[in-house]
Amino acid sequence: MNATDKGMAERGMGFGLRALNRLAGSDLLDRIRMRKQVERALFQTTKQGFRSATNANRTFKAATKLGRPARQPHARTTGQFDITPDDEQQMLQEAVGAFASEKVRPAALAADAACAAPTELLAQADELGVTILGVPEELGGVMPERSAITSVLVGEALAHGDMGIAFAALAPAAVATAISLWGDEEQEATYLPAFTSEDVPAAALALLEPRPLFDPLQLDTKARKDGDDWVLTGVKSLVPRAADCELFVVAAEAQDIGPALFIIESSTAGLSVESEPAMGLRAGATGRLLLEDVRVPAGALMSDGKREAYVECVERARIAWCSLAVGTAQAVLDYVIPYVNERTAFGEPISNRQAVAFAVSDIGIESDGMRLATYRAASRADHGEDFAREAAIARKLCADKGMQIGSDGVQLLGGHGFIKEHPVERWYRDLRAAGVMEGALLV
């Protein structure tokens, strides 16, 4: 750690301690009997210190290299309107759905409190193949064609279990998909074998930066040219599993090029992480990735810095976030229906009242609209059609209606919705992410 690092780290620790002190001094914690839980959570989120070096990574070495980058071909379209997933997609949907309800949902509360998804759950998700949906067949992938739709269906099914765990589980898939879509033959040969292996590395696609009105096309993180190398400086926010990541794909404003993606191994000098727990998505173990004069070779730049590739990345990530919002919104609907039918007030089920029943109708209507808009954006991506408009619209719907659904989910349970005995308060926190997050996931 150099002198500047140390200074910043101490200041960082200072800010953290001041906040902690304010919290500890408040008697609110005792009044609501939350002190124990808060202390435990703080221990979990800070046990590595406020700031630590990035995880040391495995050695990524180019395996058999193809003469040109492998790509999944676009899906052919029948030209028919159709909302039915094909047989393979249905099978995958069912498998992931069963995993989500049997394993993910029961683990969600603890993962939220611990700010980490259980390792064995993440491994099981990898076994289901969620990481390699975007990897070309000749490089060990499973899908013969590009299928953003398949990724959407998987994201939706997984998030029905828990959005935070889905976020953590799908983070490496974003990196594998990014390299498969925009990596050259060298990058594919170097990094993809790890993702198709049994031991999938934690990895993150880091676009977001900590500032209001963040626009992924105007990045504060800069990459300057120095000889053949690139030197990156900046801060990335809400990076999933940041402390464990072995590989990052980082968005930076490249000198004379514009916004672009760089592949950076976690052992690269100048990288560090700070824990950055958020309102929700806590199982995602989010952290800040700090880049201070991070030097990478010319080969770290993806797609020769082509702007279209970067814009496509931004838009595909938005579709992925929509898929998680759709699954979570469905979870809210499925949860409130039995609740309002069983909960009685004034001598009858509260669902006999229009004020309650209509709120349920609206959750049904808007979540279905979110779903269809997300499917449309993804299917256009698969068919090689422009999907900027559809992705933006799906995002807008999922941000606005998704949040309303999260809020109504708590409201319909009244006071019970506010306590952690029921998952709706977590969904309320998680659903706010749909309009905030950029990058981190891909379809």
Partner 1 sequence: MINLETPKKFRPLVSQANQVATEVFRPISRKYDVAEHEYPKELDMLASLIDGMNEGSDIGGAGAAGVRREDGDGDGKNRNGSNLSTVLGIIELCWGDVGLLLSMPRQGLGNSAIASVATAEQLEQYGGKWAAMAITEPEAGSDSASIRTTAELDGDEYVLNGEKIYVTSGERADLVVVWATLDRSKGRAAIKSFIVERSNPGMKLDRLEHKLGIRASDTAAFILEDCRVPKEALLGSPEVDVKQGFGGAMQTFDNTRPLVAAMAVGVARASLDETRMRLAEAGVEVDYSKPALSQHAAAARFLEMEADYEASHLLTLQAAWMADNGKPNSLQASMAKAKAGRTCVDVSLGCVELCGSLGYGENDLLEKWARDAKILDIFEGTQQIQLLIVARQLLGKTSAELK
**Residues binding partner 1 (CB under 8 A):** 75, 77-86, 89, 149, 213-215, 217, 311, 314-315, 333, 337, 340-341, 349, 351-352, 354, 357-358, 360-362, 364-366, 368-370, 372-373, 375-376, 378-380, 383, 385, 388-394, 396-397, 400-401
Which residue lies nearer to partner 1 by CB, 274 or 315? Answer: 315
> Residue 7 and residue 3: Cα distance in Å, rounded?
6
Minimum Å gap between C-beta 271 and partner 1 is 27
Minimum Å gap between C-beta 96 and partner 1 is 16
Minimum Å gap between C-beta 356 and partner 1 is 9
Strands (E), 269-428: 271-275, 287-296, 344-345, 348-349
Which H or E element spans position 236?
strand 229-239
Minimum Å gap between C-beta 218 and partner 1 is 9
> Residue 269 and residue 232: Cα distance in Å, rounded?
11
φ, ψ of residue 33 in degrees (nearest 5)? 50, 45
> Parallel, antiparallel, or unpaired: how do β-strands 247-254 and 258-265 relate?
antiparallel
Which residue lies nearer to partner 1 by CB, 102 or 215? Answer: 215
Which H or E element spans position 412?
helix 388-413
394: DSSP letter: H
SS3 334: helix
Which residue lies nearer to partner 1 by CB, 168 or 377? Answer: 377
Which residue lies nearer to partner 1 by CB, 4 or 344? Answer: 344
Which residue lies nearer to partner 1 by CB, 382 or 425? Answer: 382
Instruction: For residue 403, give the nearest of 301, 236, 279 by alpha carbon.
Output: 279
SS3 38: helix
Strands (E), 194-343: 203-206, 222-226, 229-239, 247-254, 258-265, 271-275, 287-296
Which residue lies nearer to partner 1 by CB, 53 or 388? Answer: 388
Which residue lies nearer to partner 1 by CB, 54 or 221? Answer: 221
Question: Rounded to whole angstroms, what are the CA distances from 113 to 56, 106, 110, 146, 426?
Answer: 26, 13, 5, 36, 10
Minimum Å gap between C-beta 140 and partner 1 is 25
Which residue lies nearer to partner 1 by CB, 214 or 418? Answer: 214
Minimum Å gap between C-beta 328 and partner 1 is 17
65: DSSP letter: P
> Residue 102 and residue 215: Cα distance in Å, rounded?
38
Minimum Å gap between C-beta 5 and partner 1 is 32
Sign of the C-alpha dihedral, residues 138, 123, 314, 223? negative
- The dihedral over CA atoms of 384, 299, 208, 124, expressed in degrees to the nearest 10, equals 70
Q: What angle do CA 173, 52, 285 make, to 5 degrees?
A: 40
Which residue lies nearer to partner 1 by CB, 67 or 212? Answer: 212
Minimum Å gap between C-beta 251 and partner 1 is 14
301: DSSP letter: B
> Residue 230 and residue 250: Cα distance in Å, rounded?
12
Which residue lies nearer to partner 1 by CB, 273 or 329? Answer: 329
Minimum Å gap between C-beta 439 and partner 1 is 13
Write the single-letter amino acid at 76: R
Q: What angle do CA 231, 193, 310 make, to 5 degrees?
A: 45
Minimum Å gap between C-beta 88 and partner 1 is 11
Which residue lies nearer to partner 1 by CB, 5 or 368? Answer: 368
Minimum Å gap between C-beta 201 and partner 1 is 30
The answer to whether residues 177 and 204 touch, using CB atoms and an 8 Å cutoff, is no
